[in-house]
Amino acid sequence: MSEPLLQLQGVHTHIGAYHILQGVDLTVPKGELTVLLGRNGAGKTTTLRTIMGLWQVSAGSVTFEGENIGLLATPDIAQRGIAYVPENMGIFSDLTVAENMILAARNAKRAEDIDPKRLEWVFGLFPAMKRFWQHPAGLLSGGQKQMLAVARAIVEPRKLLLIDEPSKGLAPAIIQNMITAFQELKRTDTTILLVEQNFNFARQLGDQVAVMDGGQIVHSGAMADLAGDEGLQQRLLGLSLASHQ
Amino acid sequence: MNSPATTAIEPLPTVKPDRLPLMLLPVLALVALPLIGSASTWVTLTFAGLAMGMIIFIIASGLTLVFGLMDVLNFGHGVFITLGAFMATSVLGLMTGWTTSTSLLLNLVAVLAAMLVAMSVAGGVGSVFERVIIRPVYGQPLKQILITMGGMIVGEELIKVVWGPEARPLLLPTAFQGSILMGDAAVEKYRLISVVLGLIVFAIMTWVLTHTKVGLLIRAGVHDREMVESLGYRIRRLFIGVFVVGSALAGLGGVMWGLYQQSVTPQLGSQVNVLLFIVIIIGGMGSVTGCFIGAMLVGLLANYTGFLVPKVALFSNILLMVIVLLWRPEGLYPVGKK
């Protein structure tokens, strides 16, 4: 495992009266893809939102590149090089694909200001974005919206990508496309923290894995170890790999 | 460079632009024509309605964006209208020689000076209002309503302290007075000017919203402000900017409304306030285009019913709002908020 880029230590998060994260300890190594697994309500999305500053940390620390970002505002966290793709994709449906991308490229005022090489690379990953460049994002299919959400996160180099359930609600063919795109992203040494419930999707991509339950990390280690241990899967996730193949 | 997601390209559904709300304006005007009977009267009333609608739009456009961006219900918006109108009485009062001159240029300079001063003062007071009144109650709608209404009352009383409680005249400069004939119809020059000015403001606003990064951020923020922040932008700074511009536009609208009525009272803002909320609700809260159409509908309907059935004119706007909301419960152009 390479050096940590992001570390959560004893992180607690309250949402109103609810105590959601109850001492999360998580390490995301630099240049690797870490998958956060767990059942519904385990606290996966809350973990990403807490890292992003969208929920306030009640206790504990969130350290990014050695700096505690736990009390920073969301824009400050984003400006440190963290991109977030929420579960609902966060697409601005009234804006065109191009306008969505211009907003994601913070220094771009027009589409021409986006680094053309980077844009071509993104188009290589997601050709639909080029084809529908001037179309309203609201007209895209679910899979295309997910591609736009990821494309937006990578239109400029980021140090860390937080991606929440990218396979959710997508057709198997689209999921396979997403896997291929993420594999290409991994080749660029991008650090990714991916929340997933689809273990088959996760095991094809993950270098590291952490499993959440009840607002805590109950297991962490190499993905290969979990993928190769059906008993562990059943104990942690209540599933067998065979059922997902 | 590989193309991993090639198979995901599928045709987009074709969705026709929603032009139905736009059609309401010509439909309303055409329905009114046979009821009014006289084409010249219809032309006069239509221009009066459009002029009134344009002024309402200028005032309400900032209010709708303020709500769209931060869900802030500012019932104190009216105070900027009154402030703008009273500033104009002071500025034009100092330039009487210019406003009574027969020179169009001098008249224009005087009115433009009044508008600029009114916008600057209303914008400046708007920034203080946002800091002192609005900021402490972000995300608390009930408190927002109460405290902004309180701000409105305090503002109104302060205006009385400075300018007095009585109505003050705000006379049109010489070159703006009178009418021009369009066939048999007499159309007041000032109403034409109001229509042109309103169209210019609408065009500028539309251009900014569609062709600039700030405009993109405003549109995106109205839709999903959390995501805008996650992209690294400070939505509160954007909101303050929109609030100040919205207050300045209300000040401009106040000057135009005062000149339209040729008199200004400290109650002007609170009287117009109700109309503003009707307009932004009809248009779809947060939608500038909806606000524009809503304002035109309100202006036209008020003038047509005022001529045809004066008693109905008292509640025609409420009636219009009820009909629109029965048809489209979120307004003519609902903003797809997250």
Q: Where are the domains of chain B?
A: 39-270
User: Considering only CA atoms, which of A59, A76, A58, A75 is closest in space to residue A67?
Assistant: A76
**Nearby residues of B257 by Cβ (< 8 Å), 6 or more positions away:** B55, B59, B81, B85, B268, B272
Reply yes or no on whether the pLDDT at A224 is more than 80: yes
- Backbone angles phi and psi of B247, in degrees to 5: -65, -40
User: What's B171's DSSP letter?
Assistant: P
> What pLDDT sits at residue A1?
66
A78 vs B15, B232, B336: nearest CB? B232
Query: What amino acid is encoded at B78 in this protein?
Result: G
Put simply, the answer to whether A131 touches B227 (Cβ < 8 Å) is no
Residues of chain A with C-beta less than 8 angstroms from the C-beta of B217:
103
Confidence of residue A242 (pLDDT cuts 50, 70, 90): very low
pLDDT in tens, A23-72: 999 999 999 999 999 988 899 999 999 999 999 999 999 999 999 999 99
**Residue A120 contacts B, CB cutoff 8 Å:** yes
Put simply, the answer to whether B4 touches A94 (Cβ < 8 Å) is no
Percent of chain A past pLDDT 90, that is, above it, reads: 70
Give dist(CA B15, CA A178) in Å, integer: 27
**Residue B166 contacts A, CB cutoff 8 Å:** no
Overall average pLDDT of the A114-119 stretch: 94
Confidence of residue B6 (pLDDT cuts 50, 70, 90): very low
Give dist(CA A205, CA B42) in Å, integer: 70
- DSSP E strands in B101-155: the ranges are none
In Å, how far from its chain's centre is CA B261?
A: 16
**Residue A239 contacts B, CB cutoff 8 Å:** no
pLDDT in tens, B66-83: 888 888 889 999 999 999
**Nearby residues of B219 by Cβ (< 8 Å), 6 or more positions away:** A92, A94, A95, B209
